[in-house]
Amino acid sequence: MSSQTGLLASTIFDDLKARVETDSQTREDIAQAVQKINASNAFSTGLLTRVHSTPRAKYPELLTQVEAGIKKDIVNIKELAALASEHPYYKFNFLWNRTIENVIFSILMTGFLGGVATETSAGELGRILTPEQVSEVLQVPFNVKDRDTFHITIEEYLLAVTRLTEELSRLVTNSVTLGDAALAVQAGQVVKDLFAGFQMLNLKNDIIRKRSDAVKYHVKKVEDVIYDLSLRGLLPRAGSSADAVALDADQQ
């Protein structure tokens, strides 16, 4: 009886050992794929920081470089998706959640600046890409519930939006420094609109709730800048186009 128990235990643990080794190899393969995305996205994100010191007239040149980086992200994400889709989604998703959030942020910021035109959304300054449009750019499905496959989650999108509001609040301040009050007003309005959107959500996720709570500080920063512009009589005239105001600023 004892020998039978020992044989059974050996069989059980031999099987478990094989499973553990398989999972470890899968985790390592996914981690390597994620590192490639981090590297390509660091390039895009680094370029995007230049927007704070770049006049709007030079955005097209900057966005061409950023979009080249995003194309590399897309290629690398396809590699990750192929690996991840072979396993239950929530088994390994902790390895890539933050990375995908970073990529989505880059796409959202680029979209706001007028880049990443798609079949359903022309590139224009001030637009906010929907989850479906981000999905279209990345060529990855959004919020898949009926099967285990790699996809963009609601949480990843919302967390990226909170980062966008922070970055746009910085852009408001720096746009004023560059003499582009119209862009400051436009970016500020987007921050306030996104904050109003978060107020409509009944958030259960603690991380998203905390990050969305911080958006009110981004709104406060924006409102302080816009108020200062109004006191100095620098707000764009009603009915004047943002592009025209920016052109005037570039010519001065």
Residue 247 confidence (pLDDT) above 60? no
**Rounded to an integer, what distance in angstroms lies between the CA atom of residue 52 and that of residue 173?**
9
Chain segment 15-50, per-residue pLDDT in tens: 888 889 989 999 999 999 999 999 999 999 999 999
CB atoms within 10 A of CB 246: 24
- Phi/psi for 152 (5° steps) reads -85, 135
- Phi/psi for 200 (5° steps) reads -80, -15
- Which residues in the chain are classed under CATH 1.20.58.200? 153-252
Residue 242 confidence (pLDDT) above 60? no
- Which residues in the chain are classed under CATH 1.20.58.190? 1-139
Whole-number average pLDDT of the chain: 91
Better-scored residue on pLDDT, 192 or 122: 192
What is the average per-residue pLDDT within 244-250? 46
Identify the architecture of domain 153-252 in CATH. Up-down Bundle (1.20)
Q: Is 152 helix (H, G, I), strand (E, B) or coil?
A: strand
In terms of pTM, does the model score above 0.85? yes
Fold of 1-139: Methane Monooxygenase Hydroxylase; Chain G, domain 1 (1.20.58)
The region of weakest confidence among 192-196, 218-222, 246-250 is 246-250
In contact, 107 and 170? CB cutoff 8 Å: no
Chain segment 125-135, per-residue pLDDT in tens: 999 999 999 99
What is the average per-residue pLDDT within 199-227? 95
Chain segment 89-126, per-residue pLDDT in tens: 999 999 999 999 999 999 999 999 999 988 777 789 99
List the structure tokens of 177.
Answer: 């420094």
**Rounded to an integer, what distance in angstroms lies between the CA atom of residue 58 and that of residue 201?**
37
Residue 223 confidence (pLDDT) above 50? yes
Contacts of 143-151 spanning 24+ positions with Cβ under 8 A: 144/89, 148/85, 148/87, 148/88, 148/89, 149/81, 149/85, 149/89, 150/80, 150/81, 150/84, 150/85, 150/89, 151/89
**Rounded to an integer, what distance in angstroms lies between the CA atom of residue 63 and that of residue 69?**
10
Reported as type and span, the H/E element at residue 90 is helix 89-92
Residue 249, pLDDT score: 45
Better-scored residue on pLDDT, 4 or 86: 86
**Rounded to an integer, what distance in angstroms lies between the CA atom of residue 232 and that of residue 234?**
5
Q: What is the DSSP letter of 237?
A: P
Residue 123, pLDDT score: 85
Chain segment 147-179, per-residue pLDDT in tens: 999 999 999 999 999 999 999 999 999 999 999
Residue 251, pLDDT score: 42
E strand segments, the chain: none
Residue 243 confidence (pLDDT) above 80? no
Which residues touch 189 (CB under 8 Å, ≥6 apart)?
Answer: none
